[in-house]
Structure 1
Amino acid sequence: MVDIEESADRVAVIGTGAIGGAVVRRLRAAGRDVTVWNRRSSRTAEMVELGAVPAASLGEATSASALILLTVTDHAAVRQCLDSVGEDLSGRTVVAMCTGTPGDARSTATRVAGLGGQYLDAGLQASPDMIGAGAATILYSGSPTAFEQHRATLGLVGAARFVGETPDAAAVWDLALFGVWYDAQLGLLRALDVVREAGIDVVEFSDTATSQLGHVVAGVPATVSELRGATYPPGPANLVEHHTVLRQILELRAGLRLGDGGLPEVVARIEALIAAGRHGEGLTATIG
């Protein structure tokens, strides 16, 4: 293995697909020394033209660098890479730059620690185009020491935000953010499906849907304040009133292609709160 002092300024990018390629371009544009390796060596040709050094093996790539970015498909591929390395990673930081579950992050962190390295999990709220344009924000969690050591390099790839010392914090944050988008988008699709089936003009409806989504966005600070303070004022409606409307929405959504959005569980939770004498509280009480 190359001495760690000799590899301190070099970055290894493992996987040169869309994300990996964008990462290499950003690093090379900033003048960083980059070693690349891909299972199919033909995919590193463009990176080599940009000045990256091709590694003959995965082990050669990881031994040549203090910072190892695994820009692969998923954590299964990450594990395969780590199994293939199978050598001491002391003094090196491994970053898994792929979407995964909190369990994936914890498992990978344990594996890296077993090899003597430091681990950072990365949550990619960004597309290859956003990385290439310098408009990406990337979430990191794990070793704060490793993050501070490599902050400048990670910042070249995109705005680097450290979100927690537990290895799974970035994965939780990342998937929760994706969940916000999916919940909103699928809610919109259910609404469009309902009004279309009823013969209502979806364009006219969309104007009012945009306004409704705006209320959710505008209400975020108040909702967070309620949650942090463990106080749940009724706001526009109390739980009894919410219960009535939600049961009506359930009837409206019966038989929808996209289902009911999990509303039966929400209704059951509200009914339990009402039974406990908390009928005067607002909707945030459901997670309080």
Structure 2
Amino acid sequence: MTQHTVEKTSITLLGLGGMGTALARAWLAAGHPLTVWNRTPARTAALAAEGARVADSAAEAVASNALVVVCLLDDSSVEEVLAGTGLAGKDLVNLTTSTPAQARARGEWVGERGARYLDGGIMAVPPMIGIPEAGGYVFYSGSPKLFERHQETLAVPAGTVYVGQDAGFAALHDVALLSAMYGMFAGAAHAFALIRKENIDPVSLAPLLADWLVAMAPAVHQTADQLRSGDYTEGVVSSLAMQVAGTQTFLSTAEQQGVSPELLGSYFELMRRRLAQGSGEEGLAGVIDLLVH
């Protein structure tokens, strides 16, 4: 083992699904001593051949290193796996997908057992891990000192973005961005549905659709500015009143094309409700306030 390898932080990784395995390979390739454990032992064989040490139990794996990374199925799996381990003095980084409330509760649970806690939200798929140019990154929240201590190690598989001391913020950022993604997918699905029965090649529509979505994306900055200032008329070009008046065209077109309006209908209804409050000169930011209870 070279001196360069010895200086690398040793890591324990619990969970070797698709993402866990990708993380493991990235750390091994960078020369980090790695101890792994997985509920299904067969998944450890390939990593053992690549230099990972395989622990017989989660408790043994946790005991092996100060830095413990968890990448399991869900929050209940995290508690089940860690319940019989000695966490005192450990630095625990939880990359398991969870809700903000679960992340906060898990941080408290870990703290009660004498460990320090960072939560993470992975904005990447396994093929992006270990490839900087792929653009993947991980949101981190929790102890700022803990993040600073391990940032270099955590940055090996993917970029790092620290979003605050509140342990739930990484999960919140993760879900917020993914929610917007699904909204985009919903709009794209409706667009493709409109042409589905026509003599229009979806492959020819795709670049037009992609370019249009990219062109519209900067609108989120105006929305953010309006939410911060509280002035929902700032910089508005297409007023809420004008946009609501145009929604019938979209609904009629869907009906004529034999397409369900359900992916757009809920948003249009929110627009109409906001307009009914007398906010016709606004843009669309006011719709957000209707969503918050």
TM-score using structure 1 length: 0.85
Q: 1:1-288 counterparts in 2 under 5 A? A: 9-85=9-85, 87=86, 89-134=87-132, 135=134, 136-197=136-197, 202-203=202-203, 205-206=205-206, 208-233=208-233, 235-253=236-254, 256=259, 260-261=262-263, 263-264=265-266, 266-287=267-288
Cα distance in 1 for partners of 2:140, 2:82 equals 19
Task: Name the structure 1 match of 2:5.
Answer: none
User: Given the superposition, is the C-alpha separation of residues 203 and 133 from structure 1 closer, same or farther in structure 2, using an over 3 Å criterion?
Assistant: closer
Instruction: Work out whether residues 100 and 171 of structure 2, in 8 Å CA contact, stay in contact via their aligned partners in 1.
Output: yes
Q: Secondary structure of the equivalent of 1:240?
A: helix
Q: Could you list the runs of 5+ residues in structure 2 that have no partner in the other structure?
A: 1-7
Cα distance in 2 for partners of 1:216, 1:245 equals 18
Bigger shift: residues 234-243 or 12-21: 234-243
Q: Secondary structure of the equivalent of 1:282?
A: coil
User: Given the superposition, is the C-alpha separation of residues 261 and 152 from structure 1 closer, same or farther in structure 2, using an over 3 Å criterion?
Assistant: same
Task: Name the structure 2 match of 1:4.
Answer: none
Aligned residue-pair number: 277
- RMSD over aligned Cα, in angstroms? 2.4
Cα distance in 2 for partners of 1:212, 1:26 equals 36
Q: Could you list the runs of 5+ residues in structure 1 that have no partner in the other structure?
A: 1-7
Identity %: 31
Instruction: Work out whether residues 139 and 160 of structure 1, in 8 Å CA contact, stay in contact via their aligned partners in 2.
Output: yes
Bigger shift: residues 39-48 or 61-70: 39-48
Instruction: Work out whether residues 246 and 263 of structure 1, in 8 Å CA contact, stay in contact via their aligned partners in 2.
Output: no
Bigger shift: residues 63-72 or 216-225: 216-225
Deviation at 1:161, TM superposition (A): 1.1
User: Given the superposition, is the C-alpha separation of residues 261 and 59 from structure 1 closer, same or farther in structure 2, using an over 3 Å criterion?
Assistant: same
Amino acid of the structure 1 residue aligned with 2:113: L
Deviation at 1:14, TM superposition (A): 0.8
User: Given the superposition, is the C-alpha separation of residues 22 and 216 from structure 1 closer, same or farther in structure 2, using an over 3 Å criterion?
Assistant: same
Amino acid of the structure 1 residue aligned with 2:71: T
Instruction: Work out whether residues 138 and 158 of structure 2, in 8 Å CA contact, stay in contact via their aligned partners in 1.
Output: yes
Cα distance in 2 for partners of 1:69, 1:238 equals 48
Cα distance in 2 for partners of 1:269, 1:68 equals 45
Instruction: Work out whether residues 270 and 286 of structure 1, in 8 Å CA contact, stay in contact via their aligned partners in 2.
Output: yes
Cα distance in 2 for partners of 1:283, 1:243 equals 10
TM-score using structure 2 length: 0.84
Cα distance in 1 for partners of 2:29, 2:271 equals 55
Cα distance in 2 for partners of 1:156, 1:121 equals 17
Deviation at 1:13, TM superposition (A): 0.6
Amino acid of the structure 1 residue aligned with 2:150: H
- CA deviations 1:52-87 (Å, max 9, x no partner) are 2221211111011111111222222212112232x3
Q: Secondary structure of the equivalent of 2:111?
A: helix
Instruction: Work out whether residues 58 and 82 of structure 2, in 8 Å CA contact, stay in contact via their aligned partners in 1.
Output: no
- CA deviations 1:93-122 (Å, max 9, x no partner) are 212212222232123222212211111111
Q: Secondary structure of the equivalent of 1:94?
A: strand
Cα distance in 1 for partners of 2:117, 2:209 equals 43
